[in-house]
């Protein structure tokens, strides 16, 4: 059985920042269809702020410290809607592994579940509202039951499924039926986050 160390979590956050940099303009374009076109910028800023803050972290930091540091940097770095959502997600993940110096590979699914909980708590969205929670919720369930490959499959399917949903929260909610047919940008970026987590922790 593999383990997940603080260094792995730092690598994970760096991989998320990389994928946000690569997909920044595509996410902005997706957001421009039903929102205000800034989602890729905000996600890239947030995870880059997290990566930068982790570069200054002491070498003996435990996983909880890594995740809390990332959360605070993300929140201070970006604001927007994804700031409080991902900051709360990472704080919950930090709390979920508190007291552990090293995580087991099964703890990976615990992180996903805690992040999904944090996003649900802060955003007050329900499943079906066409938000990032529509990806995080099924991905967390799938991760617990079937590991990373199941989580990725569930996340991708769920993001695709947001095309069929009418937005109930956030800027896109003002669109009503016109939000149909468009993938929710927060759902799309959630898939990228989960894939980057899987590629580094799985």
Partner 1 sequence: MKTKKIINDGANAVDEMLDGILLAHGNILRRADGSGRAIIAKDGPRDGKVGLMIGGGSGHEPTFVGFVGRGLADAAAIGNVFASPPPDPALESVNEINGGAGVLFMYGNYAGDVMNFDMAAEMAAMDDIEVRTVLTTDDIASAPLDEIEKRRGVAGNFFIFKAAGAAADEMMSLDEVERVARHANARTYTMGVALSPCSLPQTRTFNFELGPDEMEIGMGIHGEPGIERGPLKTADEITDEIMDRILSEMGAQVGDRVAVLVNSLGSTPLMELYIMNRRVQARLAEAGLETHATWVGNYCTSLEMAGASITVMHLDDELTRLIDRPCECAMFRVV
Q: Which residues bind partner 1 (CB under 8 A)?
A: 24-25, 28-29, 31-38, 40-42, 45, 75-85, 122-123, 169-171, 173-175, 178
User: Cβ 109 to partner 1, closest distance in Å?
Assistant: 26
User: Cβ 40 to partner 1, closest distance in Å?
Assistant: 8
Closer CB to partner 1, residue 37 or residue 147?
A: 37
User: Cβ 107 to partner 1, closest distance in Å?
Assistant: 27
Closer CB to partner 1, residue 32 or residue 202?
A: 32
Report the distance separating Cα 66 and Cα 53, nearest Å: 9
Structure tokens at 193: 């986050």
Closer CB to partner 1, residue 42 or residue 94?
A: 42
CB-count burial class (<10 Å; 0-12, 13-18, 19+) for 96: buried
Report the distance separating Cα 184 and Cα 182, nearest Å: 6
CB 169 within 8 A of CB 36: no
How remote is the C-alpha of 108 from its chain's centroid? 13
Spatial CA neighbour of 173 closest among 137, 131, 124:
131
User: Cβ 105 to partner 1, closest distance in Å?
Assistant: 33
User: Cβ 139 to partner 1, closest distance in Å?
Assistant: 22
Closer CB to partner 1, residue 33 or residue 156?
A: 33
Closer CB to partner 1, residue 75 or residue 201?
A: 75
CB 61 within 8 A of CB 6: yes
How remote is the C-alpha of 52 from its chain's centroid? 18
């Amino acid at each position: 059985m593999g383990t997940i160390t603080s260094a792995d979590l730092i690598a994970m956050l760096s991989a998320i920042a990389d994928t946000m940099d690569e997909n920044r303009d595509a996410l902005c374009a997706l957001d421009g269809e039903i929102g205000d076109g800034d989602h890729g910028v905000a996600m890239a800023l947030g995870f880059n702020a997290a990566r930068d803050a982790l570069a200054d972290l002491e070498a003996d930091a435990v996983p909880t410290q890594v995740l809390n540091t990332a959360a605070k940097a993300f929140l201070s770095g970006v604001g927007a809607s994804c700031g409080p959502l991902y900051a709360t997600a990472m704080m919950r993940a930090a709390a979920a592994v508190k007291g552990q110096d090293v995580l087991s590979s099964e703890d990976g699914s615990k992180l996903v579940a805690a992040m999904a909980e944090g996003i649900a708590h802060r955003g007050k969205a329900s499943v079906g509202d066409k938000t990032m929670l529509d990806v995080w919720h099924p991905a967390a369930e799938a991760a617990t039951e079937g590991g990373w490959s199941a989580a990725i499959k569930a996340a991708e399917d769920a993001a695709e499924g947001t095309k069929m949903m009418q937005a109930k929260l956030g800027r896109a909610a003002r669109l009503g039926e016109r939000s149909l047919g468009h993938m929710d940008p927060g759902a799309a970026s959630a898939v990228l986050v989960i894939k980057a987590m899987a590629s580094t922790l799985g």
